[in-house]
Amino acid sequence: MRATAIGIVSLLAFLLVWHLLTTYRVVFFVRFTNVPSPLAVYASFTKAIHDPKFLMHILLSCRRIFIGFSLAAVVGVPLALIMGRFKLVHEVIFPVTEVLRPIPAIAWVPMAIMLWPTNEQSIVFITFLGSFFPILVNTLHGMSLVDPVLVRAAQCLGARERSIFREVYFPASLPHIFTGLTIGMGVAWVSLIAAEMISGQYGIGYFTWEAYSLVQYADIALGMIAIGVLGLGSSLLIRGAGHLVMPWRSK
């Protein structure tokens, strides 16, 4: 209750400072000369929500995130579970992922454009790459932390390999899987926006960059805020899914 109240006051103070900096066009190392005021951004927001083109940008970005992120989760989680269980698979795959992992997804943009026939596919691919590695690494970490005594407990209750995997390794790794999904979702957005700014024709990242080119400064801030809200929303979705899947962890 107290935290909420302070939070609201803090946000209002932020808006006020923003308002003052832009109305007085403060120049102090950074220049607020062309930065849009909160009111200007609000005005362009009310216009944009009635503009089907703006909504289409948002929908397209969401679709790319959905496809890229889902693919990363569907490939990354099972792969890491298998790597964590079978040493040989780990030994074969781990070196490759370790070499590829430090390459930021954005560095893949030119390669992705060459690899994939359409721009749309290459952007989804970039989003996939961004979320894939955090999901893989965190799931692997979860697998390595599974308490061996729980595996023993399952074994002397008659569990065989497949049941142990399903009833012990998988649920025991779930908290780390969800950590991976949360981080992966964040990196997916970072990668998506960068990819859209570089090679997109649609999407909220492209919208933001285009606003700069077209000297529609209020739209820059609108695009940024939209990206922030979408990122927040998607990470809330994952947290909610986590509570649903792991009822034993909620208070």
Partner 1 sequence: MSGIATSAPKGHIEVRNFSLSYETIDGAVQAVTDTHIHVKPGEFVSIVGPSGCGKSTFLNAVAGFLKPTTGTITVDGERVSGPSAERGMVFQQYSLFPWKTVRENVEFGLKMRGMPRSQRERAARTLLGLAGLEAFEKHYPEKLSGGMKQRVGIVRALATGPKVLLLDEPFGALDAQTRVIMQQILTNMWQRLKISVLFVTHDIDEAIFLSDRVYCMTARPGSIKAEIPIPLERPRQQSMMMSSEFLALRRGLMSLIREESLRAMGGEINDLGMQGLNIELHGHSLADVI
Residues 167-196 that bind partner 1 (CB under 8 A): 167-168, 171-172, 174
Examine residue 59 and tell whether it contacts partner 1 (CB under 8 A).
no
How many helices and strands in the chain, by DSSP H and E? 11, 2
Q: Shortest gap between Cβ of 66 and partner 1 (angstroms)?
A: 28
Examine residue 147 and tell whether it contacts partner 1 (CB under 8 A).
yes
Cβ contacts of residue 22 below 8 Å, gap of 6+?
A: 32, 35, 36, 37, 38
Q: Shortest gap between Cβ of 141 and partner 1 (angstroms)?
A: 18
Asked if 84 contacts 169 with a C-beta cutoff of 8 angstroms, the reply is: yes
Eight-state DSSP code of residue 37: P
Q: Number of residues in contact with partner 1, rule: CB under 8 A?
A: 21
Q: Give the residue, chosen from 149, 161, 213, 215, that forms a contact with partner 1 under the rule CB under 8 A.
A: 149
CA-CA distances (angstroms) from residue 110 to 105, 121, 126, 219? 11, 13, 10, 28
Q: Which is nearer to partner 1, 62 or 154 (CB)?
A: 154
Q: Which is nearer to partner 1, 128 or 169 (CB)?
A: 169
Examine residue 244 and tell whether it contacts partner 1 (CB under 8 A).
no
H-run or E-run covering 233: helix 217-245
Q: Which is nearer to partner 1, 50 or 160 (CB)?
A: 160
Tokens 């969401």, residue? Answer: 62
Please report, as ranges, the residues that interact with partner 1 according to CB under 8 A: 147, 149-150, 152-160, 163, 167-168, 171-172, 174, 246-248
